[in-house]
């Protein structure tokens, strides 16, 4: 497994956008993103929050990847 690079909030948002997430709103320095799978049911929605920092902490980045239901390798391919 490759080591995670230090990424900014903008870089994480660009990668997640390639995976089908779209920003729905922003409150302060946090961007709320949503991925809607097929259908309108609540079970097919994945929501997460990305902080707009210059460098996102490694633990925070790992949690964002976990919540997005992507593997680390899949996320790295999106970069």
Residue 1 lies in a domain: no
Instruction: Please indicate, yes or no, if residue 69 is contained in any of the structural domains.
Output: yes
- 31 part of a folded domain: yes
Q: Answer yes or no: is 2 within a domain.
A: no
Q: Which residue has the higher pLDDT, 68 or 43?
A: 68
Task: Give the count of domains, the chain.
Answer: 1
Q: Is residue 30 part of a domain?
A: yes
Q: Share the mean pLDDT of the chain.
A: 92
Question: Model-level pTM greater than 0.85?
Answer: yes
CATH number at residue 66: 3.30.920.30
Question: What confidence score (pLDDT) does residue 62 get?
Answer: 96
Whether 19 has a pLDDT exceeding 80, the answer reads yes
Mean of pLDDT values over 59-73: 96
Compute and round to an integer the Cα radius of gyration of the chain.
12
Domain that holds residue 31: 9-37+46-78
pLDDT digits (tens, 9 = 90+) for 38-51: 666 667 899 999 99
């Amino acid at each position: 497994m490759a080591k995670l690079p230090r990424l900014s909030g903008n870089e994480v948002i660009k990668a997640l956008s390639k995976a089908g997430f779209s920003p729905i709103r922003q409150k302060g320095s946090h961007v709320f993103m949503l991925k809607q799978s097929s259908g309108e049911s609540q079970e097919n929605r994945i929501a997460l929050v990305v902080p707009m920092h210059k460098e996102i902490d490694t633990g925070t980045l790992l949690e964002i990847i976990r919540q997005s239901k992507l593997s680390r390798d899949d996320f790295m391919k999106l970069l």
